[in-house]
Structure 1
Amino acid sequence: MSVTAAASGFVVLLLTVPVVLSQSGWSVTYDALESKICAPRGSTVTIHCNYAYPLRHTPNRAVSESFWFIKDSIGVYVDLRTDPQYSGRVLYDCEKEEKKCTLIISDVRQSDSAEYKFRFTTNQPADSWTGSPGVTLSVADFQVQVRSSNQYSSHKELMCQSSCPLPHTLTYVWYNNQREIQRGPSPSYSSRFYYGDIVSCAVKDNERSRSPPMLVQSQNGWGVSYASTEICAFRGSTVDINCTYTYPGKLNNKARSFWFVKDPNVDLTTDPKYSGRVEYTCEDNKCCLRISDLRQSDSAEYKFRFITNQPADSWTGSPGVTLSVKDPQLQVHVRRSMNIQISNWTELTCHSSCQLPHHLSYVWYNKHNQVKGGKKYFLLEHVEAADSYYCAIKGHEHIRSASVCAPEVPVVSSPSGEIMEGSSVTLTCSSDAQPAANYTWYKKNEREEFQLLLEGTRFVFSSIQSSDSGVYHCTAENELGRNSTDIIIAVKYAPRSPSVSVSPTGEIVEGSSVSLTCSSDANPAANCTWYRNHTRIGEPKNIHHFTAISSGDRGVYHCKCENKHGRNSTSKSIDVLYAPKLPSVSVSPSGEIVEGSSVNLTCSSDANPAANCTWYRNHTRIGEPKNIHHFTAISSGDRGVYHCKCENQYGHNSIMKSLDVLYAPKLPSVSVSPNGEIVEGSSVNLTCSSDANPPADYTWYKENEDSPKASEQIFNIADVRAEHGGNYLCAAQNIRGRHNSTVRLTVKAVSLGAWKSAVILITSGVFLGIILLFTFFLIRKMRTSKQSSQPGDRSDNSEKFPSNQSEEQRDFHSATVHFLKNQTDPIYSNIRPVGASGHEEDDDDDDEEEEDEVAYATVTFKSSDPRVQDTGEDPATLYSTVTKNF
């Protein structure tokens, strides 16, 4: 235990008592050095404790109530905060999380000497625990003792004696005739004293609680001491004032003693003011003054004086006893507690501001009806809300206390009208109660539980906010009971920033049902409206619903909420996932595509997430998936239909694009039809073809002639004559360019007989073919498995090529043409050229060829393979050799 100076000037005692009581996890530990402590009267005492309780089987167990108490004569537990004896002097400093609680008692008195214990109760039924044994507090009174053995010596050794052992660290203060004479750590004081010296002692920081004054040096054993130096009594009552006196020897019959007020020569028994009201009771060296029917004027300092039978032998006890006569100011003190036998009880005490005699009897009333009489204490098992108790002194019923009653239903005052956010608001709770009620404010939380806010009659919002809205609960409580009332605080305010929720949560897929919900904290409730691109969507409502959301619904939506106090808004971005839309294809550069140029095909599709695009041609993928296909130098072979397919995890889509490439005509190929024997006067077709885009225009020219022979792809000579022989050039041309090929046609005349023979031969061949065809069907009908005969000789003058010939060799063709002698025959009259006539053959050639009757024309075709390089001579020239035999 240690004592330190408190700010208030009181002595603060810090106690550490190692007292532990534990059972199955329940314990209370008092932190102190000793289990019994001593504190000077008037000091401040602090007692600490720690407690514990088990949670293993009841994890939700928590302390619901805790208090300190002392066990009085009737065996009950009284919360010190409700005991009027400790009113205004007790403070608890408890921390539930750390499971500790401190008791602080200020201005301790002799009546505070007791055993203090801590008790707690949990939220579980019948769960409570008391720390026993507790801490025993003894409040010390001081008394000055003389330690000198020689009563006649003026040098005295004094001791400031305490009723219990105090710490050795205290500082003692000594007074002589109300004046400080010494301050130090020793409880003793030595000095020379003279007659009339009155000494008292105290401890530092608690000087107002001094010891009773003591007359140190009497005159040869003369002295008077009083049992009490201050007495309080009420009007009409009787008071006893006692004293003890000493002197050398004994008083004889001539000695006398008496009490007086002001004049030491006036005995109270002879004072007319006290006539019939004063009585002395004296025996040995003690004397008692009794004054009855006290009056206000009786308030005075009373002294005792005795005179011996010796001349000038007298002594007066000074200072005397101060008597205060006043109304008793009766009060009813109330305290509540609980014990095992009595679950709830209330104790009423009739208390007076004066120290009343113990022999008095009391009367108790409830609403002016006497309910009990006799004792100063009145124990109630139940107190009704309408009960009103007071007390009086029997025989003096006109002197009564004020009534005590439980609080009525509190009245809460609040500002009238609407409460606007940000304003200052004060709630005041009041209730008629005696003793005065203690007020506690609570607020109901989301779990419908009342949460403690503060204690006091007033609850002030310096700047009230919307979060302060709710149900407030005011409780008025005194020792007789409690009552409460609720008040609803609705703060008016503009909408807060709205919050937007999307249902269902997660990814939004095209075609699904989606709801946007907008809400805003506001009072009064706000009306919310949805906007998109600053255009309102439907009527004002807080939910916007998409029955089947589409990709076009993507974007930013705005929700605006408003009431009469203002508005607020927020935005929400909506992303819709969907399969690729129909792709679009662009060609770069735009316009016509010319062979050899650089070309890009670009494919794109609206999709979320972005689609991967792949190019295909003829169902075959072209390269890796990418949306651009590049032609470094596009060729005619790249013409065709291209497909672009775009896909993501939600689907795919595709489109096709036809790609046209413009290019100049390739090297034309020419042919002669028929490709067999060309007879003068017959019809012949010269055909020219070339790969070109756009398609080529064809023009036929004959060598050494400026004018074209024909402007068609097929040049027809209906009546072939000898002058038609020669070289023919085919020119293929379009807007991109031109290419030529040349063919040589040699016409030889034949005799009429040979012509006829040829006709007969052809006719025979046709007839033979008919017979062979008939034979084929006949044999097939007879289901023979093998053909027994071969067809007859063919009259085919066209030369066949072996199968093992090369491609270039197979590109050559020969024709044998039989010409008749140059005769005038009507059979040739219908031969005419198609178009302009060509150059004639040289006469020398004709003479040489006339040596034979039959002319053979060999027409040779050379391949039009573009790989053959141009040497200046047209590689497609047709050569004819005609030999005539006559």
Structure 2
Amino acid sequence: MLGKRDMELLYSSVTVRSATSDATHDPDPSNQDDVHYASVVPRKVRNPRNAESSAVTASGTDEEVQYTSVQHHCDKVVEKTEEDEVQYTTTGCTPDLRMSLTVSLLFLLFISGVFAQDGWSVYYNSKSICALKESNVTMGCTYSCPSGHSVQKAFWTKYWIRGAEPPDLLDDPEYRGRVQYLGDKFNYCTLRLSDVTEKDQRKYYFRFLTDQPGGKYQGAGGVDLSVTDLQVEVPERVIEGDKVTLTCKTTCSLTVRPTFSWYRNGHNLSSSKDQLHLQSVSREDAGRYRCAVRGQNSSEVTLNKLHSPEVTLNVRYGPKSISVSISPSGEIVEGSSLTLTCSSDANPPVEYNWFKGTSLVAKGETYTMNKISSVDSGEYKCRSSNGYIEKHSEALTLSVLYPPKSISVSISPSGEIVEGSSVTLTCSSDANPPVQKFAWFKKLNKGTLQKSTSQIYSISYISSADSGEYRCMATNTQGSRYSEYKSLTVLYAPKKALVSISETAEDSSATLTCSSDANPPVQNYTWFKEGGSSPVGSGHSYSALQSASYYCVAQNEHRSQRSAAVTVTVKAELSMILYVVVGLGLCVVAVFIAITLLIWYKVKKKKRTMEEDDHQNVDPNAKDDTYTALDPMSRSSDDVYSTLAAINNKR
């Protein structure tokens, strides 16, 4: 029985209400007569056993109380349960309201002893249960009824209904095959619910019926079932190096404290708590995470192994492992096409920029070059950035293969080349791979003459014969190309100086011409007469008026050379001499004839004189020898001259 102090605590306030205002609160309509309700608000229950008999249970710090309403039909007492307050009713004994209230208050004090022994009660082991989806839940409870009552039916229901009998949970299609009543018809009223889902979230009540009229009772308050699943909570923004905590959460506090498991990308991690701590998170920690609870049994909840949905931990980090690949691989030949591809590991994805040396040439993950040429050779890098960090790849050297080009010939020394010096000709070209073979050619009047097969063509003692046009040919694996011709000019002193003679039409003089091979050409020609020391003329040509031997001296800036002497005979001079000789001869003949005639005249005259003188003395038959001796037709002029002299001497 309750003591005085307990009763004071249990019934610390009383509220009187009219029956007409809340008559519908009676769960049994057959008992709704003229009633009055007395509401008792409890403060605290000391003894749990007494609380059980009074259908009182605690939840948290505020105790929740199940109250009992009693109806008196004068000769019988029937207990009813309600959700909110204790109501004591008396009916049919007196129409006087005040008398009924007085009787009710007195009876209220009286029945405290009755509850402890013969009261109706339902005690739920737990007022609330939080279970995981797909787990099995056991709702334990005990109950009692007054003596003299025999329980006919005991069942669980999910409804609190007044004025009608609530349905048995076993008959509910939603629970068919998942619900099992484990109690009896005496004291235990345990319920087993399997594979709970979120639809099963609600309050569940135990109710029993006895064999006595009006003997029915439903435990107030019920068991509040919450069903939750597992959810992994991850931070929205994670940067490499951060400290990160992942939490396996439920929407309610689980009745059974489970053992957790963590998985990343399907692989089990070494953690058994509801939180997974990642110290200094890295990109390797990124992935799909889920948590799970291991199978576990308790008196109220049996946990099957349950997994949460996977969530992705997105770790942001700057570009790493940047590399450049080239396609197609192998040799790159001029005129072909190729593609450079930049790849890196970064989150979020990066933007790419391509550089040749320090110049930006393209943007994007790939850089394609069509009809590649030698100018595309060089070092290429890609720069990747994603807002967190910026990095460059290692340099990729692009080597384009092409045949020789820009082939040229250079001459050393670069200034004047004098005969007798040394000269080097060098063949230069741009080629990849480098030129493997060279060939030198000198242009001739008829075709070319191959001179050498090396890059350098050397002439140790150059002569005028080496002057001419030279070119080279360069050859590598990609082909052969020729250079333009390069002129080689050798400077040398005059050589092969020769004098040629040409006569004038009147044959009064001879023209002498001096020719010589020289580079630069002869600047001065000087003419000399054989045997003389002084020049007789200058210039390329000289007119000789006298017959003699002449030679020329040819001179340029390097040296001079003398030609061989040539003899010149002037024909006009010979004719004149002949004329003079003939003239003199004629003059002598004329003088001789004149003298002869004179002498003849004188001789004839003398002869006449002598004939006249000797006509008498001379033999007329004597022969005249004088005239015979002077006969010019039979004697020479000298004989004539001697005869005349002899005659003259005789005189």
TM-score, normalization: structure 1? 0.38
Q: In the aligned structure 2, how far is the partner of 1:418 from the partner of 1:497?
A: 23
Aligned residues: CA RMSD = 4.4
Structure 2 counterpart of 1:663, one-letter code? Y
Query: What's the CA shift for 1:348?
Result: 11
Greater share of residues in helix? 2
Structure 2 counterpart of 1:653, one-letter code? R
Equivalences for residues 401-550 of structure 1 within 5 A? 405=195, 410-430=229-249, 439-444=260-265, 450-453=266-269, 456=272, 457-476=274-293, 478=295, 480=304, 482-538=306-362, 540-550=363-373
Structure 2 residue 488 is the aligned partner of structure 1 residue 659:
yes
Q: In the aligned structure 2, how far is the partner of 1:747 from the partner of 1:495?
A: 105
Provide the secondary structure at the position in 2 that maps to 1:549.
coil
Query: What's the CA shift for 1:556?
Result: 1.8
Q: Mark the CA change 1:821 to 1:413 in structure 2 (over 3 Å): closer, same or farther.
A: same
Query: What's the CA shift for 1:452?
Result: 4.5
Q: Mark the CA change 1:461 to 1:388 in structure 2 (over 3 Å): closer, same or farther.
A: farther
Structure 1 counterpart of 2:461, one-letter code? A
Q: In the aligned structure 1, how far is the partner of 2:575 from the partner of 2:561?
A: 34
Equivalences for residues 237-256 of structure 1 within 5 A? none
Query: What's the CA shift for 1:670?
Result: 2.8
2:579 corresponds, among 819, 823, 829, to: 823
Residue in 1 aligned with 2:182? 392
Query: What's the CA shift for 1:750?
Result: 7.8
Structure 2 residue 595 is the aligned partner of structure 1 residue 595:
no
Q: In the aligned structure 2, how far is the partner of 1:462 from the partner of 1:610?
A: 57
Provide the secondary structure at the position in 1 that maps to 2:493.
coil
1:636 corresponds, among 454, 459, 464, to: 464
Structure 2 counterpart of 1:627, one-letter code? Q
Structure 2 residue 519 is the aligned partner of structure 1 residue 693:
yes
Query: What's the CA shift for 1:509?
Result: 2.0
CA contact under 8 A between 2:264 and 2:289: conserved in structure 1? yes
Provide the secondary structure at the position in 2 that maps to 1:665.
strand
Q: In the aligned structure 2, how far is the partner of 1:730 from the partner of 1:824?
A: 33
Provide the secondary structure at the position in 2 that maps to 1:485.
coil
Which string of whole-angstrom CA distances, capped at 9 and with x for unpartnered residues, describes residues 157-196 of structure 1? xxxxxxxxxxxxxxxxxxxxxxxxxxxxxxxxxxxxxxxx
Which string of whole-angstrom CA distances, capped at 9 and with x for unpartnered residues, describes residues 751-780 of structure 1? 9xxxxxxxxxxxxxxxxxxxxxxxxxxxxx
Which string of whole-angstrom CA distances, capped at 9 and with x for unpartnered residues, describes residues 365-416 of structure 1? 89883499xxxxxxxxxxx999966663424553537766468774334343
Structure 2 residue 389 is the aligned partner of structure 1 residue 566:
yes
In structure 1, list runs of 5 or more residues that go unmatched: 1-234, 236-326, 330-345, 352-362, 373-383, 445-449, 752-817, 826-886
Residue in 2 aligned with 1:729? 551
Structure 1 counterpart of 2:318, one-letter code? A
Q: Percent identity?
A: 34
Q: In the aligned structure 2, how far is the partner of 1:556 from the partner of 1:579?
A: 21
Which string of whole-angstrom CA distances, capped at 9 and with x for unpartnered residues, describes residues 67-110 of structure 1? xxxxxxxxxxxxxxxxxxxxxxxxxxxxxxxxxxxxxxxxxxxx
Q: In the aligned structure 2, how far is the partner of 1:493 from the partner of 1:347?
A: 44
Provide the secondary structure at the position in 1 that maps to 2:465.
helix
Query: What's the CA shift for 1:592?
Result: 0.8
Which string of whole-angstrom CA distances, capped at 9 and with x for unpartnered residues, describes residues 404-452 of structure 1? 64687743343433111111222222458887666544444xxxxx445
Which stretch shifts more, 585-594 or 529-538?
A: 529-538
Q: In the aligned structure 2, how far is the partner of 1:386 from the partner of 1:412?
A: 29
CA contact under 8 A between 1:364 and 1:390: conserved in structure 2? no
Q: Mark the CA change 1:562 to 1:750 in structure 2 (over 3 Å): closer, same or farther.
A: closer
CA contact under 8 A between 2:510 and 2:568: conserved in structure 1? no
Q: In the aligned structure 2, how far is the partner of 1:454 from the partner of 1:389?
A: 37
Which string of whole-angstrom CA distances, capped at 9 and with x for unpartnered residues, describes residues 663-695 of structure 1? 111241333346xxx998355332322221112
Which string of whole-angstrom CA distances, capped at 9 and with x for unpartnered residues, describes residues 592-617 of structure 1? 11111121111111111111332222
Q: In the aligned structure 1, how far is the partner of 2:270 from the partner of 2:171?
A: 38
Which string of whole-angstrom CA distances, capped at 9 and with x for unpartnered residues, describes residues 843-866 of structure 1? xxxxxxxxxxxxxxxxxxxxxxxx
Q: In the aligned structure 2, how far is the partner of 1:470 from the partner of 1:614?
A: 67
Q: In the aligned structure 2, how far is the partner of 1:749 from the partner of 1:366?
A: 167
Q: In the aligned structure 2, how far is the partner of 1:572 from the partner of 1:436?
A: 59
Q: In the aligned structure 1, how far is the partner of 2:376 from the partner of 2:155?
A: 84
Equivalences for residues 75-94 of structure 1 within 5 A? none
Equivalences for residues 824-843 of structure 1 within 5 A? none
Q: In the aligned structure 1, how far is the partner of 2:442 from the partner of 2:338?
A: 41
Which string of whole-angstrom CA distances, capped at 9 and with x for unpartnered residues, describes residues 267-288 of structure 1? xxxxxxxxxxxxxxxxxxxxxx
Equivalences for residues 168-247 of structure 1 within 5 A? none
Q: Mark the CA change 1:414 to 1:349 in structure 2 (over 3 Å): closer, same or farther.
A: closer
CA contact under 8 A between 2:508 and 2:572: conserved in structure 1? no
Which string of whole-angstrom CA distances, capped at 9 and with x for unpartnered residues, describes residues 487-509 of structure 1? 01111222224322223222222
Residue in 1 aligned with 2:169? 369
Q: In the aligned structure 2, how far is the partner of 1:710 from the partner of 1:635?
A: 29
Query: What's the CA shift for 1:558?
Result: 2.8
Query: What's the CA shift for 1:644?
Result: 0.9
Which string of whole-angstrom CA distances, capped at 9 and with x for unpartnered residues, describes residues 753-812 of structure 1? xxxxxxxxxxxxxxxxxxxxxxxxxxxxxxxxxxxxxxxxxxxxxxxxxxxxxxxxxxxx
CA contact under 8 A between 1:406 and 1:434: conserved in structure 2? no
Which string of whole-angstrom CA distances, capped at 9 and with x for unpartnered residues, describes residues 715-735 of structure 1? 344xx4xxx222212112111
Structure 2 residue 468 is the aligned partner of structure 1 residue 645:
no
Q: Mark the CA change 1:394 to 1:715 in structure 2 (over 3 Å): closer, same or farther.
A: same
Provide the secondary structure at the position in 2 that maps to 1:822.
helix
CA contact under 8 A between 1:364 and 1:389: conserved in structure 2? no
Q: In the aligned structure 2, how far is the partner of 1:472 from the partner of 1:614?
A: 73
Query: What's the CA shift for 1:662?
Result: 0.9
1:715 corresponds, among 542, 562, 577, to: 542
Query: What's the CA shift for 1:466?
Result: 2.0
Which stretch shifts more, 424-433 or 725-734?
A: 424-433
Provide the secondary structure at the position in 1 that maps to 2:284.
helix
Q: In the aligned structure 1, how far is the partner of 2:332 from the partner of 2:175?
A: 64
Q: Mark the CA change 1:520 to 1:822 in structure 2 (over 3 Å): closer, same or farther.
A: same
Structure 2 residue 574 is the aligned partner of structure 1 residue 742:
no
Query: What's the CA shift for 1:568?
Result: 1.1
CA contact under 8 A between 1:493 and 1:522: conserved in structure 2? yes
Residue in 2 aligned with 1:621? 450
Q: In the aligned structure 1, how far is the partner of 2:441 from the partner of 2:556?
A: 31
CA contact under 8 A between 1:365 and 1:371: conserved in structure 2? no
Residue in 2 aligned with 1:129? none
CA contact under 8 A between 1:647 and 1:653: conserved in structure 2? yes
Q: In the aligned structure 2, how far is the partner of 1:364 from the partner of 1:443?
A: 46
Q: In the aligned structure 2, how far is the partner of 1:565 from the partner of 1:426?
A: 22
Structure 2 residue 351 is the aligned partner of structure 1 residue 551:
no
- Number of residue pairs matched? 386
Which string of whole-angstrom CA distances, capped at 9 and with x for unpartnered residues, describes residues 452-486 of structure 1? 54564443322221233233344456464644301
- Higher relative contact order, structure no. (Cα contacts within 8 Å, ≥ 6 residues apart): 2
In structure 2, list runs of 5 or more residues that go unmatched: 1-51, 53-123, 127-134, 141-153, 159-167, 198-226, 296-302, 582-651
Larger radius of gyration: 2
CA contact under 8 A between 1:727 and 1:742: conserved in structure 2? no
Which stretch shifts more, 553-562 or 418-427?
A: 553-562
Q: Mark the CA change 1:734 to 1:694 in structure 2 (over 3 Å): closer, same or farther.
A: same
Q: Mark the CA change 1:491 to 1:599 in structure 2 (over 3 Å): closer, same or farther.
A: same
Q: Mark the CA change 1:691 to 1:458 in structure 2 (over 3 Å): closer, same or farther.
A: same
Structure 2 residue 427 is the aligned partner of structure 1 residue 608:
no
Q: Mark the CA change 1:734 to 1:485 in structure 2 (over 3 Å): closer, same or farther.
A: same
Residue in 1 aligned with 2:112? none
